[in-house]
C-alpha cells in the first residue's frame, strides 16, 4: 500500500487504539486531546502517551502506573498491522512499538512509488498565500547581513506549496524616501553614466554611499559654523562625527577614485544640498514627471542587479510591486482619510500620528498580540512635518492590496521591525479589517553576523551577497579539485557553483530564524558535517552505489532490513512527510534543514558499516539497494524544499 505519510498512519493507528481502550475503561477521558510524543530513544518504542499521568491528577486514589497497567491490556494491537506491541513504562507512560516489517514495506514502497511527490502531504484547507520577502531598498546590492531574507522567504514559499497552498511571491520595491532620493540625486549630478563593467546595483550603491558621505560632511561643517551658539559638548560631538566621516571619505577616495572625484566636484563640501535632496523626495512622492523619470531610472538600474543576484541563487518572484504606485494612485491618501475617521489619529502640529496603543486597549488585543498589558505601544507617525509619508504608512494600503489577491499574507521582515509590523496590524484593526489583521503574519528573523566585521550600508562598509557567493564557489572549487581531480573542468565548474550556492543558502536557513546566524567559512564549506556540502556529498555517495549496482530493484523484501542502523534510516524516512507538515503549518523552514542533516548522518553511519552490493544473498542486496534509493529520493526532495540542488557527483 502506498502512503503519503507512513509514520503519520502509524501515529493515527496508535491514537485510534488508545482512544478505543479509553472509551471502555474511562469514557469521560475520550474527549481529551491525545498527544503522542516520540520517546528519547527507541527502547521506549516509537511513540509514547502520558495520558495516564494527566488522568491520575483527578483520581487521587490511583497512580498513573496503576491506571496504565489497567488500560494497556485493553489496547488491541492485534488487528492493527502497524503496531507490534504496547507496553507501560516508568511512572505510567504508554509506549507504542512499530511493526518494522510493515513500516519498512510501506515506507520504502511509498517513497519509490511517489518519488518527487513523497513528502508533499496536501492540506485539507488550501489557501491562497502571498509571501512577501526581500523587498530590499533599490539603492545598493544585497549584503550578507540582509541575505537571510530572500533565502528564508524562498524556502517558506516552497514548503507552503508542498503543503498544497497556492503561493505567490512578492517583492516590494521601496522606491519612496530620502535614501532613494540621495542615490538619484548623485546619479543625476554625474550625468547618469553607464555602469561600465560593474553590476548596476553595486554601481548605484557606490553612488549612494559617496553622495551620502559628502552630504553628511557638508551638513556637519555647516553645523560647526554656528559653533558659538552650541554647547562645548555638542561642538565636540560634531567634530568627532566630522573626523569619522572624513575617514570614510578617504576610504571612498581610495576605493572609488573616479566616482568620488566626479561627485565631489559636483557637490562642494560647503554647499547645502540637503534641501535639494528633500525637494527631490517631495517631488517624487507628489508624482512630478521629472522626478518620476529620474528616480524610476535609478531604481530600475539597481533592480537589474538585484534580480541578477536573486536569479543566481534560484530565488524568483511572481510580482514586483512599486511602493510609489500606491502613493500616485491615491491608495495612501484614501487610507489616511479612512484612518482619520476612526478617531485614532491625532495631530502634533503638522505631524500626523496614529494611536496604536489605544486601538490595542479598546479592542483588548494586547494579550492576543503577545504584548504586556502595562506596555505602552508607541504611536505611529503617519505624515511628517514636510507632508511626506513614512514606510509603515504606505505599507497599510499595500497590505490591503495584497489581501485582495490572497487569503493570507506573510511578511518576511527582520525582527528589528517588530514594532512597525505590530502598528501595521493595529491599523488594519482600526480600519475594521479584523480578518486581514488575523491573517497577517510577521515572519521575523535575526540578521547575519560576520565575526570581527561591522557592517554599515550608509558608510559603504558591507560585504555584498554577490561577493560571499563568489567566495563560496571559489572555496568549493578548491575542495572539488582536491577530492575529484579526474573530473573535467566543465564538471568542476558546475559542481562548485552548486556546492557554493547551496552552502551559503543552507547556512542561512539551518539556524532557528529567531537566532542570529554567525557566518564562518569553516562551518559553511564543510564536507564532514552539518552543512549543504556534507548533505550533497552524502547524496552523491548514495547515487554512486546505485550506479555501481547497474540495476534498479523492482521488488525488494524490506523485512530483511533488520540491522539497527537500517531501521533508524527507515524510521527517519517515514517521518519526512510529518516534517514537511510541521515546517509548512508552523512556518519552520529550519525544520527541513534539521531533518536532512539527521538523515545524512544516519545514511553515512549505514554507508560506513553495512555492505550493499557484497552481501550474503541477492535478496538482501536488493533490499539494501531499495533502501539506498529511498534515501536518495528523500535527500533530493528535502534539499529541493530549501532551494538546494542534489548533485550526482562531487
Highest mean pLDDT, choosing among 239-248, 264-273, 393-402, 446-455: 393-402
Q: What percent of the chain has pLDDT over 70?
A: 97
The secondary structure of the chain in percent helix, strand, coil, rounded to multiples of 5, reads 60, 10, 30
pLDDT confidence of residue 267: 80
Mean pLDDT calculated for residue range 263-282 = 84
State the Cα–Cα distance between residues 429 and 109, nearest whole angstrom: 50
Architecture of domain 128-174+318-449: 3-Layer(aba) Sandwich (3.40)
CATH topology agreement for domains 6-98 and 128-174+318-449: no
Mean pLDDT calculated for residue range 204-223 = 92
pLDDT confidence of residue 232: 86
State the Cα–Cα distance between residues 472 and 4, nearest whole angstrom: 37
Stated pTM of the model: 0.92
User: Whose CA is closest to 612, among 557, 548, 554?
Assistant: 548
Give the CA distances from residue 87 to residues 20, 62, 134, 580, in Å, rounded to whole numbers and listed in that order.
Answer: 16, 19, 51, 30
Residue 27's pLDDT band (cuts 50, 70, 90): confident
pLDDT confidence of residue 601: 97
Mean residue pLDDT across the chain: 93
Give the CA distances from residue 395 to residues 33, 140, 401, 628, in Å, rounded to whole numbers and listed in that order.
Answer: 40, 21, 10, 49
Q: Is the pLDDT of residue 579 over 80?
A: yes
pLDDT confidence of residue 266: 85
Counting Cβ atoms within 10 Å, is residue 143 exposed (0-12), middle (13-18) or buried (19+)? Answer: buried
Residue with the bigger pLDDT between 610 and 195: it is 610
Ranges of each domain in the chain: 6-98, 128-174+318-449, 178-312, 465-641
State the Cα–Cα distance between residues 439 and 600, nearest whole angstrom: 36
Mean pLDDT calculated for residue range 77-95 = 86
Q: What is the dihedral of CA 287, 288, 290, 291, to 10 degrees?
A: -50
Give the β-pairing of 93-98 and 380-383: unpaired
Architecture of domain 6-98: 2-Layer Sandwich (3.30)
CATH fold for the domain made of 465-641: Isoleucyl-tRNA Synthetase; Domain 1 (1.10.730)
Mean pLDDT calculated for residue range 407-435 = 97
Q: Is the pLDDT of residue 457 over 60?
A: no
Question: Within 10 Å of residue 90's Cβ, how many Cβ atoms?
Answer: 14
Amino acid at each position: 500500500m502506498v502512503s503519503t505519510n507512513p509514520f503519520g498512519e502509524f501515529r493515527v493507528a496508535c491514537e485510534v487504539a488508545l482512544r478505543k481502550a479509553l472509551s471502555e475503561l474511562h469514557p469521560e477521558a475520550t474527549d481529551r486531546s491525545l498527544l503522542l510524543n516520540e520517546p528519547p530513544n527507541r527502547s521506549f518504542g516509537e511513540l509514547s502517551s502520558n495520558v495516564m499521568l494527566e488522568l491520575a491528577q483527578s483520581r487521587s486514589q490511583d497512580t498513573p502506573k496503576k491506571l496504565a497497567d489497567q488500560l494497556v491490556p485493553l489496547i488491541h494491537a492485534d488487528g492493527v498491522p502497524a503496531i507490534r506491541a504496547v507496553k507501560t513504562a516508568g511512572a505510567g507512560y504508554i509506549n507504542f512499538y512499530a511493526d518494522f516489517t510493515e513500516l519498512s514495506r510501506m515506507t520504502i514502497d511509498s517513497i519509490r512509488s511517489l518519488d518527487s511527490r513523497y513528502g508533499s502531504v496536501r492540506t485539507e484547507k488550501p489557501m491562497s498565500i502571498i509571501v512577501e520577502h526581500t523587498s530590499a531598498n533599490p539603492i545598493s546590492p544585497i549584503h550578507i547581513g540582509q541575505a537571510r531574507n530572500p533565502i528564508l522567504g524562498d524556502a517558506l514559499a516552497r514548503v507552503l506549496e508542498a503543503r498544497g497552498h497556492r503561493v505567490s511571491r512578492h517583492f516590494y520595491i521601496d522606491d519612496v524616501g530620502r535614501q532613494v532620493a540621495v542615490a538619484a540625486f548623485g546619479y543625476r549630478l554625474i550625468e547618469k553614466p553607464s555602469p561600465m563593467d560593474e553590476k548596476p546595483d553595486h554601481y548605484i550603491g557606490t553612488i549612494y554611499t559617496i553622495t551620502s558621505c559628502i552630504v553628511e560632511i557638508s551638513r556637519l561643517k555647516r553645523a560647526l559654523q554656528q559653533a558659538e551658539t552650541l554647547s562645548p559638548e555638542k561642538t565636540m560631538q560634531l567634530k568627532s562625527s566630522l573626523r569619522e566621516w572624513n575617514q570614510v571619505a578617504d576610504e571612498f577616495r581610495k576605493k572609488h577614485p573616479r566616482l568620488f572625484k566626479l561627485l565631489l566636484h559636483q557637490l562642494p563640501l560647503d554647499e547645502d544640498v540637503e534641501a535639494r535632496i528633500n525637494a527631490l523626495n517631495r517631488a517624487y512622492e507628489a508624482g512630478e514627471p521629472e522626478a518620476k523619470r529620474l528616480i524610476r531610472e535609478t531604481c530600475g538600474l539597481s533592480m537589474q542587479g538585484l534580480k541578477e543576484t536573486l536569479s543566481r541563487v534560484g530565488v524568483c518572484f511572481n510580482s514586483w510591486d512599486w511602493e510609489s504606485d500606491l502613493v500616485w494612485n491615491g491608495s495612501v491618501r484614501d487610507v489616511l482619510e479612512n484612518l482619520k475617521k476612526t478617531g485614532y489619529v491625532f495631530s502634533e502640529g503638522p505631524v500626523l500620528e496614529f494611536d496604536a496603543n489605544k486601538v490595542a486597549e479598546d479592542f483588548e488585543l494586547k494579550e492576543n498580540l503577545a504584548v504586556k498589558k502595562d506596555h505602552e505601544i508607541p504611536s505611529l507617525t503617519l505624515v511628517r512635518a514636510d507632508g511626506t509619508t513614512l514606510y509603515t504608512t504606505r505599507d497599510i494600503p499595500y497590505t490591503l492590496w495584497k489581501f485582495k489577491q490572497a487569503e493570507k499574507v506573510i511578511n518576511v521582515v527582520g525582527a528589528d521591525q517588530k514594532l512597525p509590523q505590530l502598528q501595521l496590524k493595529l491599523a488594519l484593526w482600526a480600519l475594521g479589517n479584523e480578518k486581514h489583521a488575523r491573517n497577517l503574519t510577521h515572519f521575523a528573523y535575526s540578521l547575519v553576523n560576520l565575526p570581527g566585521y561591522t557592517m554599515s550600508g550608509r558608510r559603504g562598509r558591507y560585504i555584498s551577497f554577490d561577493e560571499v557567493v563568489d567566495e563560496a564557489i571559489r572555496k568549493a572549487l578548491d575542495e572539488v579539485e582536491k577530492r575529484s581531480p579526474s573530473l573535467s573542468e566543465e564538471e568542476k565548474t558546475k559542481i562548485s557553483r552548486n556546492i557554493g550556492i547551496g552552502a551559503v543558502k543552507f547556512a542561512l536557513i539551518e539556524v532557528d530564524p529567531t537566532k542570529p546566524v554567525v557566518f564562518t567559512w569553516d562551518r559553511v564549506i564543510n564536507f564532514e558535517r552539518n552543512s549543504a556540502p556534507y548533505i550533497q556529498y552524502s547524496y552523491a555517495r548514495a547515487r554512486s552505489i546505485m550506479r555501481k549496482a547497474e540495476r534498479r530493484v523492482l521488488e525488494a523484501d524490506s523485512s530483511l532490513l533488520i540491522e539497527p542502523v537500517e531501521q533508524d534510516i527507515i524510521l527517519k524516512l517515514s517521518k519526512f512527510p510529518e516534517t514537511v507538515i510541521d515546517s509548512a503549518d508552523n512556518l519552520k523552514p529550519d525544520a527541513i534543514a534539521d531533518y536532512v542533516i539527521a538523515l545524512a548522518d544516519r545514511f553515512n553511519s549505514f554507508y560506513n558499516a553495512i555492505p550493499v552490493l557484497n552481501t550474503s544473498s541477492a535478496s538482501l542486496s536488493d533490499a539494501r539497494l531499495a533502501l539506498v534509493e529511498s534515501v536518495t529520493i528523500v535527500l533530493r526532495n528535502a534539499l529541493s524544499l530549501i532551494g538546494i540542488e542534489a548533485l550526482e557527483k562531487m
